[in-house]
Structure 1
Amino acid sequence: MEDTLRDFRKRQQNLRRKHERMARGYVTGIDQNGLIVQTPDSKTGGRVLRLLVMLVAGFIGFKILLLAGLGPEQYSLHVTQLKSGSTGEQVGAWFMQIDPLSALLAGYLSPLLT
């Protein structure tokens, strides 16, 4: 009796997992017997990639906002102070250094902030 209950719970868990995957998207196709079947879409990693892109975009936006608000001279002074700090501050200075894209976008944004 316990084996039957264990098998039932395993099948039930697999079915719930399949339904959760199907709720995120499915593909309709025809199997080898000619039956129309719906299978979960095999999109994997979408959430992690989306989160990573949002974090990078937020960081770049923050960097552009700081650069536009402080101005390039004052911003460079702060980055230089970070370069002379601890290892963590030096890593932060490397990420916060002015790159061409940030400088260009900050140039467009700075007139809007004043």
Structure 2
Amino acid sequence: MGAGIKYSEFKMDEAATDFQKRLKRIGKRHARLEHGYVSVVGEDGLIITKPKRKSGGFPLRVLATLVLCFFGFKILLISQLGPEGYATRVDLLKTGTVIEQGGAWLLQADPVSLAVADGINKLTL
């Protein structure tokens, strides 16, 4: 300790710093609880409030649903138009604007879509 600082002053300073740290920690916890919380009864019988978990930033389920809908739409078109008619329409898109060419690239027939569309046609006929 320094020459002019007494032991009691040092303890008071340390206590004030600890108190400020505790206040900061409590403030952060309250800020997290503002966005919702869940009350849980612990093993010892105490009721503890925990902040609700944040949902993972990007909704993976929504993306998966969109991809499935896209492939379902593509399969439906292939089964209704037939592989040749579908290929003709995709080729027509390839001669269009940049956006249409991008759509043609996305909509080009793949082996899985052709096989599923063929299976659907066999079931309905």
TM-score, shorter chain, exceeding 0.5: yes
Q: Choose which of 71, 90, 113 in structure 2 pairs with 1:60.
A: 71
- Report the residue type matching 1:18 in the other structure: G
* Aligned mates of 1:69, 1:85 — CA distance in 2: 23
TM-score by length of 1: 0.66
Deviation per CA, 1:2-42, whole angstroms, max 9, x where unpaired?
Answer: xxxxxx9x94x6434132xx4xxx99988xxxx89675456
List runs of 5+ in structure 1 lacking aligned partners.
1-7
More helix by share: 1
TM-score by length of 2: 0.61
Q: Choose which of 22, 35, 43 in structure 2 pairs with 1:17.
A: 35
Q: Choose which of 97, 100, 121 in structure 2 pairs with 1:89.
A: 100
What's the C-alpha RMSD, in Å, of the aligned pairs? 3.3
- For 1:68-79, list aligned pairs within 5 A: 68-79=79-90
Cα drift, residue 44 of structure 1: 1.8
Q: Name 2:56's counterpart in structure 1.
A: 44
Match status 1:102 vs 2:120: no
Taking a change above 3 Å as real, the CA distance of residues 14 and 45 of structure 1, as seen in their structure-2 partners, is closer
Taking a change above 3 Å as real, the CA distance of residues 27 and 95 of structure 1, as seen in their structure-2 partners, is farther
List runs of 5+ in structure 2 lacking aligned partners.
1-26
Higher relative contact order (CA 8 A, sep 6+): 1
Largest Rg, 1 or 2: 2
- Give the count of matched residue pairs: 95
Percent identity of paired positions between Structure 1 and Structure 2: 40
